[in-house]
Structure 1
Amino acid sequence: MNLITSRDNPQVKAIRRLAQDNTAYRKAGQFWLEGDHLCKAALDRGVRPQQMVLTESFWNEQGPQWASMCDQVLVMPDALFATLSGLESPARMGFVVAWSDPARVMNDVATVILDRLQDAGNVGAILRCASAFGYRQVLAIKGTAALWSPKVLRAGMGAHFGLHLVESASLDDVATLKVPILTTSSHEGDFLHELLKSGRLQPQCAWLLGHEGQGVSHDLMVLAGQKVRIAQPGGEESLNVATAAAICLHASATA
């Protein structure tokens, strides 16, 4: 156990960058997980941290039972940990985990394609749905919120560790997929419930989800073999993209 008390410590500065800069993980080759829930989710998937960071209060309460999970344990005053945290109520512990971009696209698995989604909460929620409903892969088109940023990780609630995630995916990457590509539309295509009822909805497919305001780009829309609408008898113009994703992914999973 290494006790750190200075905010100018090089390790503290490095962790602060990971915790507060959404894309720092790409350069550092590491990402930051904060809170025992996320850390336990990572451990359950076989992920082992490079560093474990605990507040003094957490160390005094639970330190020994966590310390065996990592060779390098950093302990710091609660007030110093709070300067790292991106949360209003700091979680008192976190992991620094090695990161690498898998790059390779798996072309024959159920996939979710994110086209320039901006909101970290939406992106994390969609990752959580993808994992829950049995999707294997998520392709994030360039311009999508950073998948391993702290906000997306928190919204994903551990889903990241059960998915194959490819960032900065291209049109060519999407074109290599061998599964049918479906996309949501507010005004074109068959209604989802009718496809499901008639047995025309395939469980092994790729769902293409577009930018919160602009929708799916024209070039990607061309690659979609089918446009699908969600019935909205209440009369709203459109649904939040994460809500639409949950409906569509669940429908395919149960087809």
Structure 2
Amino acid sequence: MTSGPQTISSRDNALLKDLRKLAQDSHAYRKQGRIWLEGDHLCRAALQRGLQPAMAVFQMSWFDRVGHDWTDAGGKVVIVEDALFDTISSLESPGRMGFVLPLPASPALEPQAPTVVLDGLQDAGNVGTILRSAGAFGFPQVLAMKGTAALWSPKVLRAGMGAHFGLRLIEGVLPEQLDALQVPLLATSSHQGDYLHRAKLPWPCAWVLGHEGQGVSAGLAQRASQFVRIVQPGGEESLNVGAAAAICLHASAAARS
């Protein structure tokens, strides 16, 4: 870390105000060009991927106890009085430390990559869960259609548990941009298509996961080469999209094996 930590003891400090916005506003990362990672786990996940924070922010009492563990993290060090650190966090139990990283540049779409397409998903928990499943089951590219929850927002980052840093993430995608994909699109459905356990799944492919209530939009449905549904003998009308994604992506990984 660089020498000379900055200590913040005023609620009206300009940097503290910027950090609050970054931590609490889902879209602030786009305006500021940087992202907020809160908590030991997320910060370590970033370091393990070779990312270096522009700023490391610590609750004062936490820094006094474990600051020596982070001497090689890099970036400017900011120490915030305990009560003030709590005003940054949007979590019920604040994470006691956080990193500020530059917002990663949006990568180019990879036409042949195994892909997950998020079609208007709104729930940050669902989106983060799906990113974790994508990373676990070998889908390195995630395309978020315009209208999907902000991928680099604090809530999605928290739910993703570090999965972001191993994925190619592209936001604000329009339907016509999917035409550049050279892999078949498989659309999830609750009422049509082959049952997943019987379906012949191509590899590589792109799974299209629809809005929690409305499902896959018409613009993407017409681009799908195959519809797939999950057998539900228990009688529920539909699965949570995060659970459905894990089942579908696992089936693809198993079929590939």
The one-letter code sitting in structure 1 at the alignment partner of 2:39 is: G
Residue among 136, 140, 143 paired with 2:140 = 136
Equivalent position of 1:162 in the other structure: 166
SS at match of 1:194: coil
The one-letter code sitting in structure 2 at the alignment partner of 1:89 is: S
In the alignment, structure 1 residue 145 sits paired with structure 2 residue 173:
no
The CA distance in 2 between the partners of 1:83 and 1:171, in whole Å, is 40
Equivalent position of 1:239 in the other structure: 239
SS at match of 2:109: coil
The CA distance in 2 between the partners of 1:37 and 1:246, in whole Å, is 22
The CA distance in 1 between the partners of 2:95 and 2:189, in whole Å, is 40
State the Cα distance separating 1:106 from its structure 2 match. 1.1
Equivalent position of 1:85 in the other structure: 89
8 Å Cα contact 1:123-1:152 kept in structure 2: yes
State the Cα distance separating 1:101 from its structure 2 match. 3.9
Residue among 71, 74, 77 paired with 1:70 = 74
State the Cα distance separating 1:71 from its structure 2 match. 2.9
The CA distance in 1 between the partners of 2:51 and 2:253, in whole Å, is 27
The one-letter code sitting in structure 1 at the alignment partner of 2:100 is: V
8 Å Cα contact 1:133-1:249 kept in structure 2: yes
Name segments (4+ residues, structure 1) moved above 2 Å.
none
- Unaligned stretches of 5+ in structure 1? none
State the Cα distance separating 1:103 from its structure 2 match. 4.9
The one-letter code sitting in structure 1 at the alignment partner of 2:82 is: D
State the Cα distance separating 1:81 from its structure 2 match. 0.3
Equivalent position of 2:113 in the other structure: 109
State the Cα distance separating 1:202 from its structure 2 match. 2.0
In the alignment, structure 1 residue 209 sits paired with structure 2 residue 213:
no
The normalised TM-score by structure 2 is 0.95
The one-letter code sitting in structure 1 at the alignment partner of 2:204 is: Q
The CA distance in 2 between the partners of 1:45 and 1:22, in whole Å, is 24
The CA distance in 2 between the partners of 1:73 and 1:50, in whole Å, is 9
8 Å Cα contact 2:107-2:168 kept in structure 1: no
The one-letter code sitting in structure 2 at the alignment partner of 1:158 is: G
8 Å Cα contact 2:45-2:162 kept in structure 1: yes
Percent identity (aligned): 59
Equivalent position of 2:42 in the other structure: 38
CA RMSD of aligned residues (A): 0.9
The normalised TM-score by structure 1 is 0.96
8 Å Cα contact 1:101-1:167 kept in structure 2: no
8 Å Cα contact 2:59-2:81 kept in structure 1: yes
8 Å Cα contact 2:55-2:99 kept in structure 1: yes
Q: How many residues align?
A: 251
The one-letter code sitting in structure 1 at the alignment partner of 2:246 is: A
State the Cα distance separating 1:72 from its structure 2 match. 0.6
